[in-house]
Structures are given as C-alpha cells and as structure tokens.
C-alpha cells in the first residue's frame, strides 16, 4: 500500500492526488510515449521545516532533455519551479520520492509524436529503502537491453521499461532480488532500473555511456565522489564473468541509492565491501546536507 502525498500537479494546476485522473484513451498509455524522472527528498534532520532534494537541477535537466524526444519543449526551469511549489504545497514530514512525468496526453489512436497534445504532471509518495541496504542477489536476465539505434536511451522513456519489468519479474520469480541485463554485444549493461558497478584490484569499474546504459545521476555522482576519495575510476565494457569474480559489486540509482550485491547467479561475492560502504556512507551524508564540500548538490526548500 503506497502512501501518496496529498497534492499533485496535473494539467497545469495543483489538485488533490485522488482527482488527478486521465482518460483510458490517453495516447501515452497505449504507446509508451512518456518520459519520467525520479528524485528523493527528505526533511532536513538539522533544520526544521526545510526539505532537502538531491541534485534537483540535474534531474530537471535530464527530464527536459527526455521531453525533447517526445517533441515537447519543457524547460528545466519550468520543471524545477513546479517541483518546488509541489513540495511547499505538500509539506512532507517523511522521506519521499517525487515522480515528474511528461507524456502525450491527446486521445488519438495513431502512434506519432507530431500533432498530439503533450502534458506534464508531478506526484509523490512516501519511500524508505527501495532495496535492502544489506544487499541483494542478482541473476543475469534472459532479456537484452535495447540499443540506442532502435530506442532513445539517452532519455528516460516510459516505453523502455517493459524490458525492465520483464527482467525484474523473471529475477524475482526465479528466486533472486534483482536482474542484470546485458546489452546487444553481450556486455554488462544495467539492472532493471539501476546502474552497475564492480570493484576489481581496487578500481571502481562501471560500463560507460557507449554500453547503452541510462545516464544515471546517482551514477555520475558516485564517479565524482570516488575520484575525490582517491579511488581509481574506470569506465569501460564489463564482461559477465567479471561479475562472478568481483571483489565488490553494487547497484546505484535514485531509489536504490547504493545497494550492495551479495550474489550473482550461484556465485557468492565477498562479505567485506569496504569501498562500497565508504561510498554509501559518503553519499548518505551528502543527501542529509552534512558535507559542506557538496552543498551545491543539495537543494533546500523551506516549507514553514
């Protein structure tokens, strides 16, 4: 049972969440012609009546870029102003997740992006840990990540998530927590909605943008953090077999944050994960506004 924030932004106004409804003929529902973002917020543990948002500017920029694939000009500044007002209207008192969504809102039946109405909504819900912070088990999915030549992977397009959904259910129904997808070249790509990292010989290794991954904001933040901490970072293709012999491995994403991987297929990974835990603790401190060197990564919204 989800606990949704009481106010949503829908059709250019703030309305009760229960009244933010659309037609069953909505174009995006039929053709996956939507794009979404996701960001976490939490009450500032040190300052009453203030909400903290992690990398709000980056999230708004990415959604604005995703909207361009739908032929929708939605400036990042517009998205940011709506989200700020959305938080002020809801005044959340618990950690939460924001889902902004752009979509083709017309009622036509032709699959197209021209001459069809576009729209934008925002809602939120209470959210604690998406995956267990103690770690997850993963299987290699039988489903393959799409290629950028057939799908705009630089956007967070809703239609792409049928593959993620198939992979996630396959993993869970076969006894695992999460799926890891390979790309069309047979290299490690990403999880159902998260980027993948491994540690080998002290190096932090992750697939690069040329491996058909999503341009994850948490991923980029982790790479910057690792460099600042003196950890060698390598972006390159990753073979499936490397997952089985990694010293450490973890998933990253807005919902997942940094989640250790305990097992891949029938291969148990080492229990000690010093680099993973170091990065995770640092990231948590930043999101809670406890790291002065990263103040510009955290956006504050007064709700008093």
pLDDT tens-digit series, residues 102-158: 999 999 899 999 999 999 999 999 998 888 888 999 999 999 999 999 999 999 999
Calpha distance 283→60 (Å, rounded): 20
Residue 80 belongs to what H/E stretch?
A: helix 76-90
The values of phi and psi at residue 222, to 5°, are -65, -40
183 band by pLDDT with thresholds 50, 70 and 90: very high
Specify the CATH superfamily of domain 136-287: D-amino Acid Aminotransferase, subunit A, domain 2 (3.20.10.10)
pTM of the entire predicted model: 0.95
Q: 108, 124, 112, 110: which is closest to 37 by C-alpha? A: 124
Calpha distance 163→222 (Å, rounded): 25
241: how many CB neighbours lie within 10 A of its CB? 10
213 band by pLDDT with thresholds 50, 70 and 90: very high
What's the full length of the chain, in residues? 304
Provide the 3-class DSSP secondary structure of residue 28. Answer: helix
CATH architecture for residues 7-126 = 2-Layer Sandwich (3.30)
Calpha distance 258→254 (Å, rounded): 9
Q: What's the helix, strand, coil split of the chain in %, to 5?
A: 30, 30, 40
Would 7-126 and 136-287 be classified into the same CATH topology? no
Domain coordinates in residue numbering, the chain: 7-126, 136-287
Question: Are 141 and 182 spatial neighbours (Cβ–Cβ below 8 Å)?
Answer: yes
- Reply yes or no on whether the pLDDT at 171 is more than 90: yes
């Amino acid at each position: 049972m989800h606990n949704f924030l009481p106010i949503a932004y829908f059709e250019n106004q703030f309305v009760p969440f229960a009244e933010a409804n659309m037609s069953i003929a909505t174009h995006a529902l039929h053709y996956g012609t939507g794009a979404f973002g996701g960001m976490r917020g939490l009450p500032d543990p040190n300052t009453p009546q203030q909400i903290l948002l992690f990398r709000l500017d980056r999230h708004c920029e990415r959604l604005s870029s995703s909207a361009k694939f739908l032929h929708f000009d939605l400036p990042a500044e517009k998205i940011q102003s709506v989200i700020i007002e959305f938080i002020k209207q809801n005044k959340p008192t618990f950690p939460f997740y924001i889902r902004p969504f752009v979509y083709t809102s017309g009622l036509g039946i032709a699959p197209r992006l021209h001459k069809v109405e576009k729209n934008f909504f925002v809602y939120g819900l209470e959210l604690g840990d998406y995956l267990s912070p103690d770690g997850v088990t993963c299987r290699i999915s039988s489903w393959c990540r799409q290629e950028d030549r057939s799908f705009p992977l630089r956007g967070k397009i809703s239609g792409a998530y049928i593959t993620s959904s198939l992979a996630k259910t396959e993993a869970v129904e076969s006894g695992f927590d999460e799926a890891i997808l390979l790309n069309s070249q047979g290299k490690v790509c990403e999880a159902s909605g998260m980027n993948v990292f491994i540690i080998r010989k002290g190096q932090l290794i992750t697939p690069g943008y040329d491996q058909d991954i999503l341009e994850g904001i948490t991923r980029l933040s982790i790479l910057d953090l690792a460099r600042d901490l003196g950890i060698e970072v390598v972006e390159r293709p990753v073979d499936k077999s490397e997952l089985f012999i990694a010293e450490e491995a973890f998933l990253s994403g807005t919902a997942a944050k940094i989640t250790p991987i305990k097992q891949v297929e029938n291969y148990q990974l080492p229990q000690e994960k010093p680099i993973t835990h170091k990065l995770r603790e640092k990231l948590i401190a930043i999101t809670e506004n406890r790291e002065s060197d990263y103040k510009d990564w955290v956006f504050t919204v007064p709700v008093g």
